[in-house]
Amino acid sequence: MRENDRACRVAVPATTANIGSGFDVLGLSLALYNEAAFLPDTGRAFPDIEITAEGEGLSEMSRGADNIVIQAMARTAAAAGKTLPGGRLHLVNRIPFARGLGSSSAAIVCGAELANLYLGSPLTKEELLDLAAQMEGHPDNAAPAVLGGFVISMMDGDHVHGEKISVSSDWQAVAAIPDFELLTEKARAALPDGYSRADAVHNVSAVSFLLAAFFQKNPAYLKLGLDDRLHVPYRLPLIPGGREAMARAASAGAYGATISGSGPTMIAFTARDRAEEVGEAMRQGFAAAGAGSRIEVLDFDDLGAHEI
């Protein structure tokens, strides 16, 4: 255990899930990191933890025992059959809230990794992933947050099967993050109860090309692979400027673009020498609909959650 250390510190990446046709299955980690530090105080009983924070979402974040990081710490300790002390928790939030970049998964994984680290790492990465996916309700953000890279994931009861591959270092992601939020619950509610056979077959075809793009590091397949019929057509109307941002990204030379997670962030995949131009085109796409946005040009993360 780590009672004598000054602090346990971890970093967890942002994630983009679905990736077009990979609805609820595929996820990818991005080199934008939340950090969390836990300074234990064995004279205080868990969950008596003072929370300080900087960065994104401060007005929306709980500072009490219902904070999602503390909840994840508690779940992890219970899974390990151990107890945690109270203390201090400092959070550095770089991942924007409710924008489709995995902020809730990052918070859960931060708590799980911190607790596991303090307790001497009794849980494996696979067990931490199971726990995070159970808390999140699906694995497509949790898996790349824990493992890094491009991850294919599948829930099998309470267990996650996850297969990771590294992403081409020649590619970059361009995230156009609008000034408005889109809650996952609202984005889920927009989806239909069923799909036609034609749409189902189309998505099987598309996700096959999407997997080929990443496995073979062949960007020519990305446009085909991002062509989704299960969620993107139903969520785009909830994102003013989203359709135009996608179209302008393609015109600027992106390999392809889609909704990041459940939105409202739009994400494009591009060659490095086109990234800035693609980002400006996406910003203009949102502006055409009267929406402000900021652009993040990001490398892909291959570490996942890690100690710092």
**Chain centroid offset of residue 25 CA:** 13
Give the C-alpha distances (Å, rounded to integers) separating 240 from 76, 252, 264, 282, 291. 39, 20, 9, 12, 7
What string of DSSP letters covers 45-97?
Answer: ETT-EEEEEEETTGGG---STT-HHHHHHHHHHHHHT---EEEEEEEEE-SPT
> For residue 171, what pLDDT is reported?
97
> For residue 5, what pLDDT is reported?
57
Quote the mean pLDDT of the chain.
95
Angstrom distance (rounded) from CA 16 to CA 24: 11
Categorise residue 98: left if φ over 0, alpha if ψ from -120 to 50, beta otherwise. Answer: left
pLDDT digits (tens, 9 = 90+) for 1-53: 444 456 899 999 999 999 999 999 999 999 999 999 999 998 999 999 999 99
Burial grade of 26 (CB within 10 A; 0-12, 13-18, 19 or more): buried
Q: What would the CATH number be for the domain defined by 8-166+302-307?
A: 3.30.230.10
pLDDT at 269 over 50: yes
pLDDT digits (tens, 9 = 90+) for 165-175: 999 999 999 99
pLDDT digits (tens, 9 = 90+) for 256-267: 999 999 999 999
pLDDT at 59 over 90: no
Q: How many residues does the chain have?
A: 308
The residues spanned by each domain of the chain are: 8-166+302-307, 171-298
Angstrom distance (rounded) from CA 217 to CA 225: 13
pLDDT digits (tens, 9 = 90+) for 143-180: 999 999 999 999 999 999 999 999 999 999 999 999 99
The CATH topology of domain 171-298 is Alpha-Beta Plaits (3.30.70)
Angstrom distance (rounded) from CA 67 to CA 85: 16
Angstrom distance (rounded) from CA 150 to CA 227: 18
Angstrom distance (rounded) from CA 18 to CA 14: 14
SS3 251: helix
Angstrom distance (rounded) from CA 226 to CA 209: 9
